Structure 1
Amino acid sequence: MQSKHSNFSYLWLSFLISSVGDWLYKLAIPIIILNKTGSAYHAAATFGVSFVPWVFFSLLGGSLADNYDKKKILISGNLFATLVCLMLLEILSAQESNFSLLYAAILLLASVDPLIHPSFQSIIPELVRPEKFASANAIIQTIDNTLSILGPLLGGSIVTMLGGRTALWLDLFSFMIASLALLGLPRQKKTHPKKGAGIFLQLMNDIVEGAKYSFQQKVIFSGSLMFLFTNFALNMFEANFIFYMTKSLHYPVLDATFAMSLGGCGALAAGLVGDKIVARFRAGFLLSNSTILAGLSTLLLLLNTNYIYIGVILGLISFFGNINVITYFTLRQRTIPKKLLGRVVSVTLMISYASIPVGSWLGGSLLEHGQPMFTVILLAGSIRTLAGIGAKLSPLGKEK
């Protein structure tokens, strides 16, 4: 029999592979759009629209996670993403940009994550022991954050030398390989969901139950509201980063991605020490204060436009942001019953991600209408700081 540790290895290996592909996708899409149209609005909109499905499908994803085989959900999601990525490549190969088809394909591809992410998060407690939850989350964040260093450099080099379409082909293959890695996960316990029309009623009842439970848990709900404002502020800037660096500041793509890589160093540091910090401080204290510090750090971007300076400040922001993520994920896993965890994950994600398209759209619109990036950064840093202060005064800040 395989140990729980080896079972978890298949999960993080799949996550590593698919995350490499995600970085190529994140860089390729805005660069392709900017090269074709030069429009900050469309570049930001394609980024923001990819988060719209989180609002509509997160609850369904949570119900699926709590009722069906999580392993099959994860594999099916990656295979579906492979097909949609193929369709996206075909759309981008056209000479004229068809934004209706482009947005539709991006929405379809983006729909995979909210449907499978609750299964990804809620399968972790089945693969590791409770005392290892923080370590498991730190491993996932360390992978994510290591790639936030290497991903921009690798992706930027591939996009610059081989083109955006090549990067998207590699993204497609990453979904296929990730599916193969997931085959190593243990079989899930058999479930007996209802059939026919009963499936719909069961899913709806589960969604309602998960939503009620999430809203009643004031600490968890306060955390999701904090992330609602944090994500709004973060994505006002993040969705427009490539435009800011390449069009406003006139840096080459490799300099822009180098700054992103420097930012990833802070995220990596958070992944390496996150479990120790979580063990030492109260979750409410960490979540509120790290949000305030991330907001204040964002305002430091107003002081200098040197790409190395920008990268260092991004590292500071991402350090506090990733301490947030590790702390909140661990808090959910420790306090929510396993049978409800998938649905609670989906509800909190739906709330916290709902503001991302709005923040992305607002940032892009401000730039499109002649506002300087100074305005976007000032708003983003101020809103994030206020979100942390609000969290400190909420039930989350009083959590013991």
Structure 2
Amino acid sequence: MLSFQKKSFHLLWLSFLVSTLGDWMYRLALPIIVLSKTGSAYHAATAFGISFIPWVLFSLIGGVLADSYSKRKILVVGNIFASIFSCFLLFTLSIKNINFTFLYLVVFLLASVDPLIHPSFQSIIPEIIKRDDYVKANALIQTIDNTLTILGPLAGGSVIMLIGGINALWFDTFSFILSACILYALPKTEKGHTKKMTLNTIKKDILDGVKYSFQQKVIFSGSLMFFMTNFALNMFEANYIFYMTKALGYPLIDATIALSIGGVGALIAGPVSSLIVERFRSGVLLSISTVLAGLSTLLLLINTNYIYIGVILGLVSFFGTINVITYFTLRQRTVPSDQLGRVVSVTRMVSYASIPVGSWFGGLLLNQGVSMAWVILIAGVLRASAGVGAAVSPLAHEK
């Protein structure tokens, strides 16, 4: 049994469960709506990529907020704003002829909430559990995420086929409202924050967080590894719906079945991580799992059967999930609590900076007539190379 404060942690993971369900509706519905109205992989991938730009722009501010104010309040207010921006997105996509400038703006605004509240979510965990339970808690949260990776595509795809993409997005809007209500019920167990924020204090706090993150070579090396990994991953992931439904000609249900099969690997990785993270050096696990994720990606070149694709995606997600749990645990154990929010924001900003570029680059290649086989080949080689790089970085010496 985990020895955390049960009520607080249960509410936290319940809000995570609700918001992740809504996210799956959004992830599937947005590219489907854009593809159905334009038939363009470029616009679908660009909309996907733009949603990660705020991680570069606002992550540091999110870290300062997490280290300066009540994390509970930040999480509640953030979800309320997300529900408002989600309504704007619904209106934008309901128009017959999409105004892409306005669409990209609304996607940007909705995506801006996550980097502002994610540091609070990550850094609130050590406040409500004991240090010895970090691995178990992170594995449990990832297990929830990975379970929905299996069920989300099937449920989301079914809902979208039954009621349409626009109506499905209302589930995402509702998930933000419900998540805010759940988080509001969190007991006020956090230490009060009375720090007054000004432009000067924000600047100082950001610089302190950046300086600390850069000085922690192990933690920063990990974020650079994820920078390369995310670039490679999103060359393929951002164009997955296009690949399955347009390039391979599968119906949406087959594409979502493949995604769900892929989620099984991530689900298995949760309990496996609980067993191996404590027994092996973090740097070794991070390096090996990244190399194996890259090599597994290359297996997509062998066969285009949707069941086979799902199995390979399962391998990729298995190694990727071990990656994430190992790194999150390493970061929580290494970084002091009063710096954790900012370090989370810096490392997430660095690792996410490559996502919009990778998404855009993959979509651009496909739009120029380059085959998906080349996109997969480039992505697999880059990801495996990131693991090799990690093996010769300061991560390699981390116990």
Q: Is the TM value for this pair above 0.5?
A: yes
| Deviation of the 1:329 alpha carbon | 0.2
Q: Does 1:200 align with 2:199?
A: yes
Task: Determine which of 186, 192, 199 is the counterpart of 1:190.
Answer: 192
Aligned to 1:4: 5
Counterpart CA distance in 1 for 2:183 and 2:275 is 29
Aligned to 1:370: 369
Counterpart CA distance in 1 for 2:90 and 2:113 is 17
Counterpart CA distance in 1 for 2:333 and 2:267 is 24
Q: Helix, strand or coil: the match of 1:397?
A: helix
Q: Which moved more, 1:325-334 or 1:157-166?
A: 157-166
Counterpart CA distance in 2 for 1:208 and 1:184 is 34
TM-score (norm 2): 0.98
Aligned to 2:277: 278
Q: Does 1:20 align with 2:21?
A: yes
Counterpart CA distance in 2 for 1:109 and 1:397 is 37
Contact in 2 for aligned 1:149/1:265 (Cα 8 Å): yes
Q: Helix, strand or coil: the match of 1:280?
A: coil
Q: Helix, strand or coil: the match of 2:304?
A: coil
| Deviation of the 1:184 alpha carbon | 2.2
Q: Does 1:50 align with 2:51?
A: yes
Matches within 5 A, 1:61-72: 61-72=62-73
Contact in 2 for aligned 1:134/1:326 (Cα 8 Å): yes
Matches within 5 A, 1:189-228: 189-194=191-196, 199-228=198-227
Q: Does 1:168 align with 2:169?
A: yes
| Deviation of the 1:278 alpha carbon | 0.6
Counterpart CA distance in 2 for 1:43 and 1:91 is 15
CA-to-aligned-CA distance 1:351-395 (integer Å, 9 cap, x gap): 000000000000000000000000000000000000000000100
Q: Does 1:136 align with 2:137?
A: yes
CA-to-aligned-CA distance 1:133-165 (integer Å, 9 cap, x gap): 111100110000000000000000011111001
Aligned to 1:116: 117
Q: Helix, strand or coil: the match of 2:123?
A: helix
AA aligned opposite 2:348 = L
Aligned to 1:358: 357
| Deviation of the 1:3 alpha carbon | 6.6
Contact in 2 for aligned 1:55/1:353 (Cα 8 Å): yes
| Deviation of the 1:399 alpha carbon | 1.1
Contact in 1 for aligned 2:15/2:183 (Cα 8 Å): yes
Q: When the two structures are aligned, how many residues end up with a matched partner? A: 396
Aligned to 1:240: 239
Counterpart CA distance in 2 for 1:186 and 1:328 is 28
| Matched-pair identity in % | 64
TM-score (norm 1): 0.98
Q: Does 1:390 align with 2:389?
A: yes
| Deviation of the 1:166 alpha carbon | 1.3
Counterpart CA distance in 2 for 1:28 and 1:21 is 11
Counterpart CA distance in 1 for 2:4 and 2:120 is 20
Q: Does 1:105 align with 2:106?
A: yes
CA-to-aligned-CA distance 1:225-277 (integer Å, 9 cap, x gap): 00000000000000000000000000000000000000000000111221211
CA-to-aligned-CA distance 1:270-325 (integer Å, 9 cap, x gap): 11221211111110000000000000000000000000000000000000000000
AA aligned opposite 1:260 = L
Q: Does 1:326 align with 2:325?
A: yes
| Deviation of the 1:5 alpha carbon | 2.1
Contact in 1 for aligned 2:222/2:390 (Cα 8 Å): yes
Counterpart CA distance in 2 for 1:48 and 1:182 is 28
CA-to-aligned-CA distance 1:330-356 (integer Å, 9 cap, x gap): 000001000000000000000000000
Counterpart CA distance in 2 for 1:322 and 1:138 is 9
Contact in 2 for aligned 1:53/1:110 (Cα 8 Å): yes
Aligned to 2:264: 265
Contact in 2 for aligned 1:193/1:199 (Cα 8 Å): no
Counterpart CA distance in 2 for 1:363 and 1:182 is 37
Contact in 2 for aligned 1:47/1:239 (Cα 8 Å): yes
Counterpart CA distance in 2 for 1:221 and 1:296 is 24
Counterpart CA distance in 1 for 2:24 and 2:385 is 30
Counterpart CA distance in 1 for 2:48 and 2:383 is 20
| Deviation of the 1:123 alpha carbon | 0.1
AA aligned opposite 1:213 = Y
Counterpart CA distance in 2 for 1:193 and 1:41 is 45
